[in-house]
Structure 1
């Protein structure tokens, strides 16, 4: 493993001592630094070049990265990392071009200019669109890094009502961002949804909707030839078992959720009218 791959697995940043323990001696670190493969953001702390900019900005203004800009430090799921940097400058003047968040209330990252996970998630829930905040919280909650109950208690009063409502859509387990988003949209449509249901002859399916329609959300791995063959067998077994099946990929779930839900509703309505009954 090279030093860049190692840093990517750690969220893009590591201290010198950590790199040495991982098998990258000082000579290796220095070579990578000279070659531009890594960047020094402060004494004894190195980052991938693409991460060094925002960390350097925070250090320059003695501020802390938070909200969406801190997601990579905690390896949280995100939908889109583009946009202004999110900073918590404390009592100091806001940094031009950044989105300013309030004071930090919890312990910060032990060695990076990054707010603690609790503040990062609270800021995200107050700041970001619902789905962007939801995937970040879902990732942290299912890893056991934080509980929904803790976040709910930290968001009291009417002014935090929208933020608290996002927490209602955190689920015990999601194998991908797509599952989180699909579950949100199906529930918003008023559908009866069961997740990770074990069906005889099929195995575990992502969703069973209204107890008759199986819905699978397919990430990039489902495009691999071996997985395509496996999915075909599972689809056939689903139909043989007496249930219909729809599959949706990244584009449908993330960019066209209304179309996805419309197709689910259309199949359910046709089923109610007997369109799939034996003739």
Structure 2
């Protein structure tokens, strides 16, 4: 690939309009040759990108915007809410939106798996300001605002907790977000807690609060033993993940840990990530039954 073209794409985060590259000094012949050789992609008419973009980014750019909301969480190091929809942030008056998988087809407005958010703060435009903006996906602040506003509260909390934990959001940051979100979202912000170590823990905490149960999170119940939740002072609730218990050694160590917790006299319940997210009535019913039995 031509050095000037390669450097220009690198400065533009791997995604650029034809006019931007021409203004950077890239010749039309060099641009055409790089495309013909497969060294760059023509994502949609007049928009080029380096090969190997994350699939969601390429599809969002093809639509005519950038990856947004729940779809951008993973790329920002946040917990990823489940769901197949592609969220794309475009300019308020965006036109000529295309199918995410076929650049020659208009976007079908009836598609339920593509969510278009007309809230991108600025357009492509000309000049240097654009280059300093995220070009593949929205920034952290916009992603949180979009995700919390459009997700069920427990999922919004899981994303927010991961941002507080991983990005160091401060109380001032949360107040600022509060001013940008509708009142119905404020209870999510009020429950932010960086002590949650996984999305399932955040969702479990949300459910316990909604059920009116008293509990302590990240509670020490024995000598060197910390549990995810101690409910009603006597029921230990653990959120387990196959990711952290896949090997035999890890599995054996965790079983020994649970046995040690049981020896303290507590009832111990374990629930998987899938159960917490998708089988909540069973989960909360089991916890309530254990609390009642004492």
User: For this structure pair, what is the TM-score category when the shorter chain's length is used for normalisation?
Assistant: 0.7 to 0.9
Deviations along 1:41-62, whole A, 9 cap, x unmatched? 666745346235324325xx3x
- The counterpart of 2:262, out of the listed 226, 231, 239, is 239
The aligned counterpart of 1:66 is 68
- The counterpart of 1:57, out of the listed 47, 62, 72, is 62
CA distance in 2, matches of 1:43, 1:105: 21
Higher strand share goes to which structure?
Answer: 2
What are the within-5 Å matches in structure 2 for residues 85-124 of structure 1? Answer: 85-93=87-95, 95=97, 96=107, 97=109, 98-104=114-120, 110-124=133-147
CA RMSD of aligned residues (A): 3.4
The aligned counterpart of 1:128 is 151
Q: Please say if 1:164 is aligned against 2:169.
A: no
- The counterpart of 2:277, out of the listed 249, 254, 258, is 254
Give the 3 Å change call, closer, same or farther, for CA 148–46 of structure 1 in structure 2.
farther
CA distance in 1, matches of 2:92, 2:182: 21
Does the aligned pair in 1 maintain the 2:88–2:116 contact within 8 Å?
yes
Deviations along 1:185-238, whole A, 9 cap, x unmatched? 111111112111122235111111111111111101224321221222222222
Instruction: Give the number of aligned pairs.
Output: 240
Q: Which has the larger radius of gyration?
A: 2
Deviation at 1:172, TM superposition (A): 2.0
CA distance in 2, matches of 1:80, 1:258: 18
- The counterpart of 2:235, out of the listed 190, 194, 213, is 213
Q: Please say if 1:197 is aligned against 2:219.
A: yes
User: Higher relative CO (CA 8 A, sep ≥ 6), structure 1 or 2?
Assistant: 2
The aligned counterpart of 1:181 is 203
CA distance in 2, matches of 1:17, 1:53: 15
- The counterpart of 2:78, out of the listed 69, 76, 79, is 76
CA distance in 1, matches of 2:96, 2:70: 17
CA distance in 1, matches of 2:87, 2:48: 23
The TM-score, its normalising length taken from structure 1, stands at 0.72
CA distance in 1, matches of 2:82, 2:57: 18
The TM-score, its normalising length taken from structure 2, stands at 0.69
Q: Which runs of 5+ in 1 are unaligned?
A: 1-13, 20-29, 272-279
CA distance in 1, matches of 2:272, 2:208: 15
Does the aligned pair in 2 maintain the 1:16–1:46 contact within 8 Å?
no
Deviations along 1:31-77, whole A, 9 cap, x unmatched? xx96x9x978666745346235324325xx3x333212322331221
